[in-house]
């Protein structure tokens, strides 16, 4: 019998020895037919080295308000500098750094405007909210080995922010933190909602329950696009009450039912033909996540469906997002991990679902989708 694992292991070792050889690197960089491959790999290697600097340039644009200022462009650096509290030389350094990342652009010498990427960030408050939030992750990653060696129960910058997860397990200091959590989720939730709307039909759905639905940002997007839906929101009491008011104002109070509760401890409301879990499962470790799936399955009538949408691991074309970014993000948060579709489907089967399938999305970096049937 052919040992495929041994063959692959041997091939990887030989490949790595070749790539690490300086003579091969020198040869590859000069051979016309493969020069572009060598350069692409060199650029990717440098991006790994410089990625933190790139993220801090982006953070500076967001925190200084530079995106908004550049929308008034073209402007000279001398006019921009006082508006962001920098000297002209420092402002030029930031503008030039952003130019390399397509955040800013010179229409003419010293005439600064938004670049292609800058226009995207300037128009999206949700992205900017996430950039501000990620300062907490960067603080925790200042010592990555220290973070990985520490007990996950130890407080980190991220875990102190995400006290919402602790609230689900019985913490008492919840009000301001759950509000802050829901605001961030609402600001970024449309990324996931857009992927779901583009890949899933709700034509045959009558009643949709969003478990852990926050202030209803996901339900608002789905309910607006599919006006026949009756919408249910299940979350902690203080969150569900606010969500009912916000969602009712957006789509009509008569379409909305709020269900206060704890999805680990309380029964999931019945009578819904679809339940959604939007960026919830990956926030929790395996045992509580498995328990949550079993709790949802117990609430569903035969044929009803569960929709899971979140960033997942081992997705072709989005591998770094799943395990490099979210792997460390969730570790720093102290709970959960990014799972592959195969892992999630195995969990769904253990929870008693009859079948499950992956639904392709256009931008898996934002979310992948799995639908399971009871």
Regarding whether 343 and 203 lie in a shared domain, the answer is: yes
Regarding whether 308 and 170 lie in a shared domain, the answer is: yes
* Residue 242 in domain: yes
Average pLDDT over residues 170-196: 64
Regarding whether 139 and 102 lie in a shared domain, the answer is: no
Output the six-digit token pair for 98.
């952003």
Give the CATH number, domain containing residue 198.
3.40.50.150
* Residue 4 in domain: no
Regarding whether 334 and 191 lie in a shared domain, the answer is: yes
Regarding whether 172 and 113 lie in a shared domain, the answer is: no
Region of poorest pLDDT, from 61-65, 156-160, 227-231:
156-160
Contact 232, 259 (CB under 8 A): yes
Indicate the average pLDDT of the chain.
87
Tell me: pLDDT of 44 over 80: no
* Residue 30 in domain: yes
Regarding whether 242 and 138 lie in a shared domain, the answer is: yes
* Residue 8 in domain: no
The residue out of 76, 100, 123 marking a domain boundary is 123
Regarding whether 295 and 328 lie in a shared domain, the answer is: yes
* Residue 195 in domain: yes
Residue 85 DSSP symbol:
T
pLDDT of residue 129: 83
Give the CATH number, domain containing residue 36.
1.10.10.10
Domain, as residue range, for 240? 127-373
Average pLDDT over residues 241-260: 93
The residue out of 97, 123, 149 marking a domain boundary is 123
Regarding whether 144 and 53 lie in a shared domain, the answer is: no
Average pLDDT over residues 192-196: 93
pLDDT tens-digit profile of 285-313? 999 999 999 999 999 999 999 999 999 99
Q: Is 355 helix (H, G, I), strand (E, B) or coil?
A: strand
pLDDT of residue 251: 94
Domain total in the chain: 2
Quote the strand ranges of 151-301, DSSP E.
207-211, 230-235, 256-260, 274-278
Residue 263 to residue 297: CA distance in whole angstroms = 12
Quote the strand ranges of the chain, DSSP E.
104-108, 111-114, 207-211, 230-235, 256-260, 274-278, 305-310, 355-359, 368-373
Phi, psi of 112 (to 5 degrees): -95, 135
pLDDT of residue 168: 44
pLDDT of residue 215: 84
Regarding whether 172 and 48 lie in a shared domain, the answer is: no
Give ∠ CA 357-360-365 in degrees, rounded to 5. 120
- Find, among 260, 252, 210, the residue nearest to 233 by Cα: 210
The residue out of 98, 123, 148 marking a domain boundary is 123
3-state SS of 25-56 is HHHHCCCCCCHHHHHHHHHHHHHHHHHHHHHH
């Amino acid at each position: 019998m052919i040992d495929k694992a041994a063959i692959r292991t041997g091939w990887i070792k030989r490949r790595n020895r070749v790539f690490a050889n300086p003579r091969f690197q020198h040869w590859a960089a000069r051979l016309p037919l493969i020069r572009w491959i060598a350069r692409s790999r060199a650029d990717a290697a440098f991006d790994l080295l410089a990625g933190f600097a790139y993220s801090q340039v982006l953070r500076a644009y967001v925190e200084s308000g530079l995106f908004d200022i550049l929308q008034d462009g073209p402007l000279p650096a001398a006019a921009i500098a006082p508006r962001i509290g920098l000297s002209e030389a420092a402002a030029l350094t930031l503008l030039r750094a952003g130019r390399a990342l397509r955040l800013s652009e010179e229409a003419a010498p010293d005439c600064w405007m938004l670049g292609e990427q800058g226009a995207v960030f300037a128009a999206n408050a949700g992205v900017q909210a996430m950039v501000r939030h990620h300062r907490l992750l960067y603080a925790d990653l200042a010592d990555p080995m220290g973070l990985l060696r520490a007990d996950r129960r130890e407080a980190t910058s991220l875990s102190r922010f995400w006290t919402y997860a602790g609230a689900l397990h019985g913490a008492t200091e919840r009000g301001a933190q759950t509000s802050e959590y829901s605001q961030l989720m609402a600001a970024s939730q449309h990324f996931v909602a857009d992927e779901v709307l583009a890949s899933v039909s709700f034509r045959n759905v009558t009643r949709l329950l969003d478990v852990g639905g926050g202030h209803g940002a996901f339900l608002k997007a789905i309910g607006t696009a599919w006006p026949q839906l009756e919408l249910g929101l299940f979350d902690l009491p203080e969150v569900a009450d606010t969500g009912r008011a916000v969602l009712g104002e957006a789509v009509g109070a008569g379409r909305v039912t709020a269900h206060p509760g704890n999805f680990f401890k309380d029964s999931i409301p019945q009578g819904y033909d679809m339940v959604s879990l939007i960026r919830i499962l990956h926030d929790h470790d395996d045992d509580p996540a498995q328990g949550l799936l079993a709790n949802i399955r117990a609430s569903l009538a035969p044929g009803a469906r569960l929709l899971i949408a979140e960033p997942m691991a081992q997705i072709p074309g989005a591998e770094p997002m799943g395990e490099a970014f979210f792997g460390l993000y969730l570790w720093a948060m102290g709970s959960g991990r990014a799972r592959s579709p195969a892992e999630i489907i195995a969990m769904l089967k253990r929870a008693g679902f009859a079948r499950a399938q992956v639904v392709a999305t256009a931008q898996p970096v934002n979310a992948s989708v799995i639908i399971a049937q009871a």
